[in-house]
Structure 1
Amino acid sequence: MRIERIHEAPAHETAWTVAAYETPVSDRIWVLTATGATPAPVLQELLDHLADGHGWDTAPGAPLDEKTIAAATQPLSDAGWKHTVDGRWIRWTSPAADAGVQFDAFAAQHSNQTLATWTAWAGPKPDHPTWALTASPHTPSSLLADLAENLAHATGTRQRQTTSRERRTRLVTAPSAIPTVPAGPAASRTH
């Protein structure tokens, strides 16, 4: 497992990359990315799930089936999210239409690649989200379900508007929600 954090990434670009490997030198099994504006509760859920050490329930190389998709999205269905199918896309949208999860059936069929099969977003529009997560086909369904549970209960979508002065004060006085680790030499970074 490798986690990379790009500290200077703009809010709408990838700031977090989590990648799983069978061995330290093998190809990726799955990858998940998060933009810089992804809320701390969503990132905390992700890190908590990874720290638990279980949840490797999606077998590498196995095709995604209806059971796996249903397991990953059950929290959204339970919360009454609207479910639609549009060509290759299966979408779940919150009742307020301010968050959603999208499954790309085409990308899922190419399971030997690390295409973005899952996209979770929150914000005013899906094509211009405030923040987004993407995940490849073999991302564990239990991890996706935990993130969906967090999203379904709006934990990750609540964002209080602050003034520039409040934001500066909070940045100076509040501890970081996610601990930062000093970057090592550039040669030690992996993608």
Structure 2
Amino acid sequence: MRIERVHEADPRKAAWTAAAYETPVSDRMWHLTATGTTPAPVLQTLLHHLAAGEAWDTSVGSPVTEKTVTATAQPLTDASWEHTVDGRWIRWTNPSRDAGIRFDAFAAHQPNSNLTTWNLWSGPSTDHPTWTVTASPYTPSSLLADLSETLAHDTGTRHAQPTIRTRKTSLAVSPPATAPVTAGAAASRSR
């Protein structure tokens, strides 16, 4: 397993790359990239999954099966995301249409190509995302399902909310508070 972080990457370009290899000198089994603007919950899910050692559950044979797609999409289906099929693409989009997952069925069966099989995104649209995570055909379905769960429940479009500091100015002037004087205390002072 190799994880690379490019610290000075363009926010919309790949800043994180995770790749699994059978041996240190073998060909890559699968890979995943995340842009520099990918929110912390998504990156935490990725890193926790990789730390748990579950990155090796790649299937033998066809890189993506109906079972893989179903397992990946289950958290989205449970969250009532819209499901559409458009030619070679299967898409799931949240109700506000600012986050989704796109699966490319053609790319899934072209394991040696540079086409992206899975694209998780959030932002104004799939064509103009705020952040993306892309994955290759052999990416473990359990990792993709964990990322789907995080996307459905812990993220979405994350915009930094500007902090507005309100400064209150009091124009009324009041005298400073003084200790109350009781009759007994006043009488003792006058003696």
Q: Which of the five TM-score ranges fits, normalised by the shorter chain?
A: 0.7 to 0.9
SS in 2 for 1:143: helix
Give ranges in structure 2 of 5+ residues lacking alignment. 164-191
Conserved? CA contact 2:98–2:156, under 8 Å: no
SS in 2 for 1:64: coil
Compared CA separation, residues 35 and 60, structure 1 to 2 (3 A): farther
Query: Corresponding residue for 1:38?
Result: 38
Q: What's the offset of the Cα at 1:162?
A: 2.9
Q: What's the offset of the Cα at 1:156?
A: 5.0
Residues 23-102 of structure 1 aligned to structure 2 (within 5 Å): 23-102=23-102
Query: Corresponding residue for 1:124?
Result: 124
Residues 160-179 of structure 1 aligned to structure 2 (within 5 Å): 160-162=160-162
Q: CA RMSD in A?
A: 1.7
SS in 2 for 1:101: strand
SS in 2 for 1:12: coil
Q: What's the offset of the Cα at 1:111?
A: 2.3
SS in 2 for 1:132: strand
Compared CA separation, residues 140 and 31, structure 1 to 2 (3 A): same
Compared CA separation, residues 156 and 20, structure 1 to 2 (3 A): farther
After TM superposition, the structure 1 stretch with the greater mean CA deviation from structure 2, 152-161 or 79-88, is: 152-161
Q: What's the offset of the Cα at 1:60?
A: 4.7
> What TM-score do the two structures reach when normalised by structure 2?
0.81
Conserved? CA contact 2:99–2:156, under 8 Å: no
SS in 1 for 2:111: coil
Which whole-Å deviations, capped at 9, do the CAs of 1:31-70 have from their partners, x for residues lacking one? 0000010011110110001001125332254341111110
One-letter identity of the residue aligned with 1:48: H
Conserved? CA contact 2:130–2:157, under 8 Å: no
Q: Give distance in 2, aligned partners of 1:62 and 1:122.
A: 29
Conserved? CA contact 1:108–1:137, under 8 Å: yes
One-letter identity of the residue aligned with 1:133: V
Query: Corresponding residue for 1:167?
Result: none
Query: Corresponding residue for 1:186?
Result: none
Which whole-Å deviations, capped at 9, do the CAs of 1:99-138 have from their partners, x for residues lacking one? 0000000100112445310000000111010000000000
Q: Give distance in 1, aligned partners of 2:32 and 2:119.
A: 10
Compared CA separation, residues 63 and 2, structure 1 to 2 (3 A): closer
Give ranges in structure 1 of 5+ residues lacking alignment. 164-191
One-letter identity of the residue aligned with 2:35: T
Identity over aligned residues, as a percent?
A: 68
User: Given the alignment of the two structures, is residue 144 of structure 1 paired with residue 161 of structure 2, yes or no?
Assistant: no
